Amino acid sequence: MSTRTTLALAAALATLPALAQERPSEGDLFGGDSPAEEPRPDESALFGDSPASAPAATQQPEAAQTPTGDAEQDRDAQALNGPAATNAFETEEAVEDPLKIGGRFYLRAFTQGNEGVSFGNTSFSAPMLVDGYLDARPTDRLRGFVLGRLTFDPARREGSGSLIPTGTSTSNITAAPQMLLDQAWLRFDVGRKLFITAGKQHVKWGTSRFWNPTDFLSPQRRDPLALLDTRTGATMLKVHVPWEDKGWNFYAIGLLDNAGPANTLGRIGGAARAEVVLGQTELGLDAVLQRGRKPRVGFDFSSALGPIDIYGELALKKGSDTPMYRVPEGVSLGDLLAQVQSGGVPPDLASLPIEAYYPDGYTPQVSGGATWTFAYSENDTATVGVEYFYNSTGYPTSLAYPYLIFQGQFQPFYLGQHYASVYALLAGPGSWDDTNFILSNLGNLSDRSFTTRLDVTHRALRYLSVEAFVAVNYGQKGGEFRFALDLPATRLGQQVMPPIVVAPPTVQAGVGLRIDI
């Protein structure tokens, strides 16, 4: 990546993680996986603020001075009366303040307008997220980190929930307060050559901005439009072996809960990754093996072609972990239900002529894009980028979407076969040094539905950030970004479901306040 691009993106992403995750990176959390001694990052470094100075190590008392008239006697006296001799390679200096406490308070408010819905009936939510962490690092070679999370939405009624998964980071926030464990890990090294991290942690793979098919180790997909990635971590044992002379890194990982709890030895999964630097190109190669899931391999890269930075990733597996569904060509699920309904008896979804099948051969997922950073004034730069995603296990049309919802397989941003995005970033334009703008346009090319979103963030105070966004949805009605549903009463087994009517969304807006301490 070119120096100009790196500086521009770093300045923008320090306060706005819309294009990249703002959650602590592995380097921030672990203090870097380098055997060289490094300063302890404080809570400001963990949450994106300017790092404060690290606490100083305990100073050793000076040796007692015993005045004598003879140099040899003086040396003997110092050896007898002074502190015991120590071997710097066998001891570790403990810090005076080994425990840091901090957290995050994140308050948001969202509203969404739907076609034909009055202003008074427009949906509203106010999800709240509170993080608190304990960061213990008694020496430079030992660290423990715990981050707990409290979430709830006072605007959501108890027991209520949306039938349609939105894919947003707030879709799973309930009305009642909910406690979650985001991270809990212990890190140490063996001879400063092997770096081991055990526990619930974040490990993100892949180089793309919006679609990360090689992000194998996270149980949930990332919401590409969220300003903050609120996914919780996965429990694993990670062993990192750096090759410092080459700048290469190798990882071996044991997975304990990525595909369900590993309550037997046979359910423990394994993963491996190699990261190689060749000139201006960074390459990554990884593989994952787990019982109950297809073996997966991945490849990712990032490089510079003059002023343009390119990136991409490929995920490959044979077949699919979940079945796919075929609806009779040219017939929507609503029309199909109406055709089979007779005598006023609600049709049974299980009896519909919808075929479940598993695809044959390999099912690749490929994403890639390019960014260009340029100066438009003496002191200001802008970044523009494009990205494309091909999903072989997606659907060419929106006909199967309602059935996917009933089967619990509706995965936003991964429904279609073809996606594309265009985005632009202005970081601190003109005299607005503490304000960032991001304009993103995402489209599901398979069902021809689109969304355009403008995000604005402003650092109002040292610890306070203010966020706002507005988004519009347009394109084919019934597509992913303009999803609509009109179903008569149906039966699913013995349960009778009432008619379901979902109006397509037209516009969303939201504001947020975030305090990081």
pLDDT on residue 131? 97
Contacts for 445 with CB less than 8 Å, ≥ 6 apart: 416, 418, 419, 420
Distance CA 450, CA 393 (A): 20
Residue 290 has which token pair?
A: 């787990």
pLDDT of 253 reads 97
User: Is residue 350 pLDDT above 70, yes or no?
Assistant: no
Mean pLDDT value of segment 466-470 = 97
Whole-angstrom CA distances from 2 to 150, 277, 283, 470 are 40, 15, 16, 32
pLDDT at 346 over 90: no
Which pLDDT value is given to residue 45?
Answer: 37
Which pLDDT score, from 0 to 100, does residue 165 have? 57
* Percent of all residues in the chain with a pLDDT value above 90, rounded to a whole number: 57
Q: Which of 128-132, 342-346, 375-379 bottoms out in mean pLDDT, i.e. has the lowest?
A: 342-346
Average the pLDDT over each of 285-294, 361-370, 479-488 and give the range with the smallest value.
479-488
Per-residue confidence band for 510, with pLDDT thresholds at 50, 70 and 90: very high
pTM exceeds 0.85 for this model: no
Q: How far apart are CA 281 and CA 311, in angstroms?
A: 10
Q: Please give the Cα distance from 144 to 198 (Å, whole number).
A: 10
pLDDT digits (tens, 9 = 90+) for 159-206: 555 555 555 555 667 678 899 999 999 999 999 999 999 999 999 999
Helix (H) or strand (E) holding 190: strand 178-190
In this predicted structure, the answer to whether residue 483 has a pLDDT above a threshold of 50 is yes
Quote the CA–CA distance of 509 and 490 in Å, as a whole number: 34
Asked if pLDDT for residue 132 goes beyond 50, the answer is yes
The answer to whether 470 touches 454, Cβ cutoff 8 Å, is: yes
| pLDDT > 90? residue 405 | no
pLDDT given for residue 155 in this prediction: 86
Task: Work out the average pLDDT over 326-348.
Answer: 62
Q: How far apart are CA 406 and CA 452, in angstroms?
A: 28
Name the more confident of 68 and 170.
170
C-alpha to C-alpha distance for 342 and 312, rounded to whole angstroms: 51
Name the DSSP class of 68.
Answer: -
Most confident by average pLDDT, 49-63, 169-183, 213-227, 401-415: 213-227
Examine the pLDDT at 512 and tell me if it is beyond 90: yes
Contact (Cβ atoms closer than 8 angstroms) between residue 212 and residue 229: no
The answer to whether the CB of 181 falls within 8 A of the CB of 229 is no
Name the more confident of 194 and 488. 194
* pLDDT, tens only, 15-56: 333 333 334 444 444 344 433 333 333 433 333 343 333 333
Bridge partners of 276, per DSSP, are: 283
Contact 437, 219 (CB under 8 A): no
Average pLDDT over residues 109-119: 93
Convert the pLDDT of each residue in 420-452 to its tens digit: 999 999 999 999 999 999 999 999 999 999 999
Tokens read off for 357? 């099948």
Give the DSSP H or E segment for 98.
none
Q: What's the average model confidence in pLDDT over 357-368?
A: 94
φ, ψ of residue 391 to 5 degrees: the values are: -125, 100
Among the residue ranges 57-61, 98-102, 291-295, the one predicted with the least confidence is 57-61
Average pLDDT, the chain: 81
State mean pLDDT over 336-342.
Answer: 59
Residue-wise pLDDT tens digits, 269-322: 999 999 999 999 999 999 999 988 899 999 999 999 999 999 999 999 999 988
Say what the pLDDT of residue 309 is. Answer: 97
Q: Please state the rounded mean pLDDT for residues 314-335.
A: 81
As a whole number of angstroms, the distance between CA 471 and CA 188 comes to 45
pLDDT, mean of residues 91-120? 88
* Cα 92 to Cα 139: distance, rounded to the nearest angstrom: 7
Rounded CA separation 397/63 (Å): 79
Dig out the tokens for 338 from the structure: 């109406």
